[in-house]
C-alpha cells in the first residue's frame, strides 16, 4: 500500500444517503509515475507467463468474485446508488462471466503460418502491448473494469487503472478480494480527479494504449493526448439511442406486446445512467395514442426507493463526483439565457482533505502502486441495517474499516438532469409523467432520486439531441419506415438502438440501416461477453467485449523466415 505522495484525500459521498462514507486518496502525477514504475517492473514476467497460466488466473478471479458476489453487489450499490437487485442479478454476474469468457478464448487463440513460396515462410505471433492505461466510468464501475481488464490481463499486459472519482470505492473492494491472485505490479489502481490524475495517465509516454469510457467531450481530449504519443485508443463514448416501435407490436395483446412495453420502460434502467440508454422513443403514429397510454402506465409501475431494498427497481442518481460539472451546466445555461456568452469556471468543489487518522487501510493498493482507500463501509452498512431489513445480504458485505466522521459538505446531485427537465418544458415538450425529484424519507432524504420522466416532443429539441444520462425519455411519432429511419439517424451519436416489430424482414432491413454499433431487436439492454460493443459516429472508436478484444490489446509480430541457402541476388 502506497499512500498518496501529497498526502491528500477526498470524501466520497454515497448517493444512497447523500452522506460521506469513504475517504479516498487523491492521487496526482507523482502517484501515477509510481504506478507506472510497478507496471513496467512486472511487464516482462507477466508477458512471458504461459497463456494457460494467465487464463487460470482469470478463472480464479471469476471464482473469487462469485464467492463474494453479495459483498461486491452491496459495495457497488452503496458507491453508485443503483438498486441491489441489479448489482446482484446483472452487474456482478456479467463481470464474472467476462473474466471466464476471455480466459476461454485466450486458450483458443492461435498465431498463423503462411507459406510464401520456395523456402520462404511467414510466421505471425500475438504479443502483448506492455503497459496499458484504462479509465473506468461511474455508471457500471466493476462491470466496466471487467470489460477492460479481462482482455488486457489475459493477453499479458500490465494495467494502470483509474476509477472515476465519482465511484472510486467498489473497485477497491474488488481489488482487495483478488489482489493475492495477481503478481505484484500487474494491476495498479489509483484514484483522483481528471486533470490531476486522468490527464497524466492518458498523456504518459510510458503507456502503449489508453482505453476510456465516458462522455464524448472528454473522449476527444483523451484522443488528443494519445495522438501526441501515437498510441492506440479505445473510446466508448456518449449516445442518444432511438427505440423504435412499429404499429404491429399492438396487433395482439400478448406476451410479446408486454415485452415491448417493458422495452419502452428500459430508459429508466440503472436510473438512465447507461451510455446506450434508449432515451428517444419513436412510436408509429397510427397507434401512438393507444400505445403511449399503456406505456406510461408501465413506467409508473417502476418502484423507486432504497437501493439496498431488494424490491427497489431504480435507485439514486450516481452523480456524487459530478457536482462541479452539473453546477457548471446549470450555471452556464442560466447565463446563456441572460445573454452572457462566456461561461465562468467554478472550482474548489472538492477541497483537499486531511488523511484519516484511524482505521485499517484497504489492502487494494498493496504492491500495486498508490491509491488504496480507507472504506467506511461499516457506518454505511450500519445505517443500511437500520432503515432496511435485508440483513442476510448486508452481513456478507465488506467488513468495517474506520467509521470516522467527515466534515465535508453535502452537495445536491442531479442538477444536470433537473436542468434538462426544465429545458424540455421551456422548449414546449409535454411531460407525460414524472418531471421532478423524488424525495424519500428518513436517512434517504439527502440522497438524490429523480422520478422516471417521459416527454412528448420533436427530434429537434435539446432533450432529443443531448445526452442527459438520467431517467428521462423523449417520445415522438413517425408516419412510415422512411421517416423512422431519418429520425433515428438524426443524431451526432451512434452507439445503440432498439427495433420492435413482429415483421422479420423489417427486423433485418431496418437494423442494417440504422447508424449504430449495436441494434437490439425485440430486446434491449443485453450485454453478453461474446457480442461486440461499440459505436458509430461520435460514440467512440473501437470495440469492447467479444473475442476481437484480444487483438485490441496485442500487437502482431511477423517473422519472415527463409530456409534457403541461396543468395538473395541483389548485390
Task: Tell me which residues are annotated as active site.
Answer: 236
Single out the residue of 139, 260, 235 nearest to residue 493, CA to CA: 235
Burial label, 104 (beta-carbon count in 10 A; 0-12, 13-18, 19+): middle
Rounded CA separation 61/432 (Å): 46
DSSP for 430-453? EEEE--SB----GGGTTS--B--E
Rounded CA separation 313/83 (Å): 6
Q: Residues 391-430, buried b or exposed e (16+ Cβ, 10 A)?
A: eebbeebbebbbbeebebeebebbbbbbbbbebbeeeebe
Asked if 16 and 308 touch (Cβ cutoff 8 Å), the reply is yes
C-alpha radius of gyration, the chain, whole number? 25
Q: Which three cell numbers stand for residue 101?
A: 469468457
Rounded CA separation 148/146 (Å): 5
Single out the residue of 298, 361, 380 nearest to residue 12, CA to CA: 380
CB atoms within 10 A of CB 48: 9
Amino acid at each position: 500500500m502506497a499512500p498518496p505522495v501529497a498526502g491528500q484525500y477526498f470524501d466520497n459521498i454515497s448517493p444512497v444517503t447523500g452522506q460521506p462514507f469513504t475517504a479516498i486518496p487523491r492521487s496526482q502525477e507523482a502517484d501515477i509515475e509510481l504506478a507506472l514504475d510497478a507496471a513496467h517492473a512486472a511487464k516482462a514476467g507477466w508477458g512471458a507467463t504461459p497463456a494457460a497460466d494467465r487464463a487460470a488466473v482469470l478463472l480464479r478471479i471469476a471464482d473469487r468474485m462469485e464467492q463474494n458476489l453479495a459483498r461486491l453487489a452491496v459495495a457497488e450499490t452503496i458507491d453508485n446508488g443503483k438498486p441491489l437487485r441489479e448489482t446482484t442479478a446483472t452487474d456482478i454476474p456479467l463481470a464474472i462471466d467476462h473474466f471466464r469468457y476471455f480466459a476461454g478464448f485466450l486458450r483458443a487463440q492461435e498465431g498463423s503460418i503462411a507459406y510464401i513460396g520456395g523456402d520462404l515462410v511467414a510466421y505471425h505471433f500475438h504479443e502483448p502491448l506492455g503497459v496499458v492505461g484504462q479509465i473506468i466510468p461511474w455508471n457500471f464501475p466493476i462491470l466496466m473494469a471487467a470489460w477492460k481488464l479481462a482482455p488486457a490481463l489475459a493477453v499479458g499486459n500490465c494495467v494502470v487503472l483509474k476509477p472515476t472519482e465519482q465511484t472510486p470505492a467498489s473497485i477497491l473492494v474488488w481489488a482487495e478480494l483478488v489482489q493475492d491472485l495477481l503478481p505484484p505490479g500487474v494491476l495498479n489502481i489509483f484514484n483522483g480527479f481528471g486533470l490531476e490524475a486522468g490527464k497524466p495517465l492518458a498523456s504518459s509516454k510510458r503507456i502503449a494504449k489508453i482505453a476510456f469510457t465516458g462522455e464524448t467531450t472528454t473522449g476527444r481530449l483523451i484522443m488528443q493526448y494519445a495522438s501526441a504519443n501515437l498510441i492506440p485508443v479505445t473510446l466508448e463514448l456518449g449516445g442518444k439511442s432511438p427505440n423504435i416501435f412499429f404499429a404491429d407490436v399492438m396487433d395482439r395483446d400478448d406476451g410479446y406486446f408486454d415485452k415491448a412495453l417493458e422495452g419502452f420502460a428500459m430508459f429508466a434502467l440503472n436510473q438512465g445512467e447507461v451510455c446506450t440508454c434508449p432515451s428517444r422513443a419513436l412510436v408509429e403514429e397510427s397507434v401512438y395514442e393507444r400505445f403511449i397510454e399503456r406505456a406510461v402506465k408501465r413506467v409508473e409501475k417502476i418502484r423507486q426507493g432504497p437501493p439496498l431494498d431488494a424490491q427497489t427497481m431504480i435507485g439514486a442518481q450516481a452523480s456524487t463526483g459530478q457536482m462541479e460539472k452539473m453546477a457548471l451546466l446549470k450555471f452556464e445555461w442560466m447565463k446563456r439565457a441572460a445573454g452572457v456568452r462566456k461561461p465562468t469556471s467554478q472550482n474548489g468543489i472538492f477541497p483537499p482533505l486531511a488523511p484519516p487518522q484511524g482505521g485499517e487501510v484497504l489492502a487494494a493498493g498493496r504492491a500495486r502502486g498508490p491509491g488504496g482507500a480507507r472504506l467506511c463501509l461499516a457506518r454505511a452498512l450500519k445505517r443500511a441495517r437500520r432503515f432496511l431489513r435485508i440483513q442476510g445480504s448486508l452481513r456478507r458485505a465488506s467488513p468495517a474499516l474506520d467509521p470516522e466522521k467527515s466534515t465535508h459538505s453535502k452537495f445536491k446531485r442531479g442538477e444536470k438532469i433537473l436542468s434538462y427537465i426544465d429545458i424540455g418544458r421551456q422548449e414546449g415538450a409535454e411531460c407525460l409523467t414524472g418531471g421532478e425529484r423524488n424525495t424519500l424519507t428518513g436517512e434517504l432524504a439527502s440522497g438524490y432520486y429523480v422520478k422516471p420522466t417521459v416527454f412528448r416532443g420533436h427530434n429537434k429539441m435539446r432533450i432529443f439531441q443531448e445526452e442527459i444520462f438520467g431517467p428521462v425519455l423523449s417520445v415522438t411519432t413517425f408516419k412510415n419506415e422512411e421517416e423512422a429511419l431519418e429520425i433515428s439517424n438524426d443524431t451526432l451519436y451512434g452507439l445503440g438502438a432498439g427495433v420492435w416489430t413482429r415483421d422479420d424482414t423489417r427486423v433485418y432491413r431496418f437494423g442494417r440501416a440504422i447508424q449504430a454499433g449495436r441494434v437490439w431487436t425485440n430486446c434491449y439492454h443485453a450485454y453478453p461477453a461474446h457480442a461486440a460493443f461499440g459505436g458509430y459516429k461520435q460514440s467512440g472508436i473501437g470495440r469492447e467485449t467479444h473475442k476481437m478484444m484480444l487483438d485490441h490489446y496485442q500487437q502482431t509480430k511477423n517473422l519472415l523466415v527463409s530456409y534457403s541457402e541461396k543468395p538473395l541476388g541483389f548485390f
